[in-house]
Amino acid sequence: MGIELKRPIERLAYRRPEAAAVLGVSESKFLDWERRGLMPAAVIVDGCRLYDAEQIRIAWMAMKEGRAPVLAESNPYDLEP
């Protein structure tokens, strides 16, 4: 019936509720951090707003250490609908 996995698949991206949950904060707090540049902006692919898991990790580590996050600039290859 489907593929049986021996270990979990590492997530590359999250939707906003998942990204907030990973950090243990509400969606509104995550959105506030995104608007303030503390978390990465979403990438829109075929109408889906996705947050890069690695960029979230980098931003969190920077916040935890009390420094401004250095997030990737927008990618010219990001797909807009």
Write out the chain in H/E/C secondary structure: CCCCCCCCCCCCEECHHHHHHHHCCCHHHHHHHHHCCCCCCCEEECCEEEEEHHHHHHHHHHHHCCCCCCCCCCCCCCCCC
Which tens digit of pLDDT belongs to each residue from 32-55? 999 999 999 999 999 999 999 999
> Phi and psi of 51, rounded to 5°?
-110, 130
Task: Please check the confidence at residue 22 and state whether its pLDDT lies above 50.
Answer: yes
Q: pTM score, two decimals? A: 0.74
Structure confidence at residue 67 (pLDDT): 81
Q: Which CATH class is domain 13-64?
A: mainly alpha
